[in-house]
């Protein structure tokens, strides 16, 4: 389903509000990176975001995009999806945590609202005096169309 421009602006405003609240300046680059998600679809690679931002800021470097994405990820505004075909980023609702099904053939990525993290990991970490700050979990496999294309022969 296509997102309407109105919803996109709403998401952008919310993200900018979080940045402001955390004491970060809304630089033209930060705004442009966030706005670029609107033209890239749900999951955007750094390269895709760079292309969109360069339409309005031709001098912007890949490094600048990376630095901004790292900050946005630290603030929980974007989530990095680890994909064999190249990592992608998505804008997430504040405080929302979820995982992904990733197709290793075509890169199709779907969000799933199940988290495998449980108290057992925290206990193990605790025993070692380890303080948990996060985790990465993606499920790799074949999407429905790659599955029927590759396995039906
Ligand atoms: Zn696929
Ligand atoms: Zn997701
Ligand atoms: Zn999780």
For residue 37, the domain's CATH number is 1.10.10.10
Closest to 90 measured CA to CA, from 21, 32, 38:
38
User: Are 125 and 136 part of one and the same domain?
Assistant: yes
Give the closest ligand to the alpha carbon of residue 102. 1
User: Are 87 and 135 part of one and the same domain?
Assistant: no
In the reported structure, the alpha carbon of residue 132 is separated from the centroid of ligand 3 by a whole-number distance in angstroms of 12
User: pLDDT at residue 5 above 70?
Assistant: no
**Sequence-separated (6 or more) residues with CB below 8 Å from residue 101:** 109, 110, 112, 138, 139, 141, 143
Assign 153 a pLDDT band (cuts: 50, 70, 90). Answer: low
Give the closest ligand to the alpha carbon of residue 112. 2
Domain count of the chain? 2
Burial of 4 (0-12, 13-18, 19+ CB in 10 A): exposed
Task: Measure the CA–CA gap between 18 and 16, rounded to whole angstroms.
Answer: 5
Closest to 46 measured CA to CA, from 75, 13, 70:
70
Which domain, by its residues, includes 71? Answer: 1-96
User: Are 109 and 37 part of one and the same domain?
Assistant: no
Can you give the pTM of this predicted structure?
A: 0.83
Give the closest ligand to the alpha carbon of residue 97. 3
Supply the pLDDT for residue 131: 94
């Amino acid at each position: 389903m296509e997102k309407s421009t109105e919803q996109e602006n709403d998401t952008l405003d919310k993200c900018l509000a979080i940045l402001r609240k955390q004491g970060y300046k809304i630089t033209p680059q930060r705004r442009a990176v966030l706005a670029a998600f609107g033209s890239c679809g749900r999951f955007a690679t750094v390269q895709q975001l760079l292309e969109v931002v360069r339409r309005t800021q031709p001098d912007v470097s890949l490094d600048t995009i990376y630095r901004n994405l790292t900050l946005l990820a630290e603030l929980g505004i974007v989530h990095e999806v680890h994909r064999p075909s190249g990592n992608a980023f998505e804008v997430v609702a504040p405080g929302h945590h979820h995982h992904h099904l990733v197709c290793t053939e075509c890169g199709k990525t779907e969000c799933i609202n199940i988290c495998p993290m449980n108290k057992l990991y925290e206990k193990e970490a605790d025993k070692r005096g380890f303080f948990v700050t996060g985790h990465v979990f993606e499920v790799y496999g074949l999407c429905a169309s790659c599955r029927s294309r590759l396995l039906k022969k």
